[in-house]
Amino acid sequence: MSIVDLYESSKHRNNVAHFSAIVNLAIIDGDLNEDEEKLVNRFARKLDITEAEYQDIVENSKKYPVVPQAKTDDRLERLLDLFKIIYSDHQIDEAELKLILRYAIQLGFSQEKAEEIISKTTKIFSGKIDLDQYKLILNIL
């Protein structure tokens, strides 16, 4: 097996684990609603998840561990994906908060940093930011 094959295989395993985390968050409050299903399907395409993998993950989503990410940008991208699926129903509940905190830590953030990022991201997604916070976000861009 070549180095390229190993890299592709590792990358795909990482994508499968991430997709499993997405599915776990989507189904934590019951069956997938229409918006969640659309988003899950979009992530499946984005992450190159096969139909067989999709079915296995939906049936056994907890069997795939979260893969830690070495780069902060990769961690943040994974968390953003998870927030998109959480907020597909326009709300976040206590179980989802606990699960995303666990995933953030498993991705490689410290407990303190994970809590801070989740708090700030929740405010952004829920629309609970004031003008000063909004301007700060725009200055970052």
The pLDDT assigned to 141 comes to: 54
Residue corresponding to tokens 């830690």: 68
Confidence class of residue 4 from pLDDT cuts 50, 70 and 90? very low
Mean pLDDT over the full length of the chain = 87
Mean pLDDT of 66-81: 91
CB 50 within 8 A of CB 58: no
Residue corresponding to tokens 């893969």: 67
Domain coordinates in residue numbering, the chain = 3-138
pTM of the model: 0.77
Residues 6+ apart with CB under 8 A from 132: none
The pLDDT assigned to 139 comes to: 77
